[in-house]
Amino acid sequence: MTLQVNIHEAKTHFSELLRRVEEGEEVTIARAGKPVARIVRAEAPKRERQLGTGKGKIWLAPDWDAPMTEEELAEWYDAPLSTADVLPK
């Protein structure tokens, strides 16, 4: 919804107009009935991500990508190591 106000009214009620804009309304300021400016809600500027901000905060073991052993896989999946572990003796 767009609200149109004249310059004098905009100066007099500027705080109220800003409150309405914050709520999502659009305000057009007119001079002699002709639109001159539009007030719309501003979007927060997007911050650019900077590389290297986690440097020294994260550590990986040298063998982080090594294959898991059978025991580790069993723990991971909470499963028996082999069918020999499941079958009765």
Domains (range + CATH), the chain = 2-39 (3.40.1620.10)
pTM of the model: 0.49
- pLDDT range class, residue 80, cuts 50, 70, 90: low
> pLDDT digit string (tens) for 4-59?
999 999 999 999 999 999 999 999 999 999 999 999 999 888 888 889 888 889 88
Q: What is the 3-state secondary structure (H, E, C) of the chain?
A: CEEEEEHHHHHHCHHHHHHHHHCCCEEEEEECCEEEEEECCCCCCCCCCCCCCCCCCCCCCCCCCCCCCHHHHHHHHCCCCCHHHCCCC
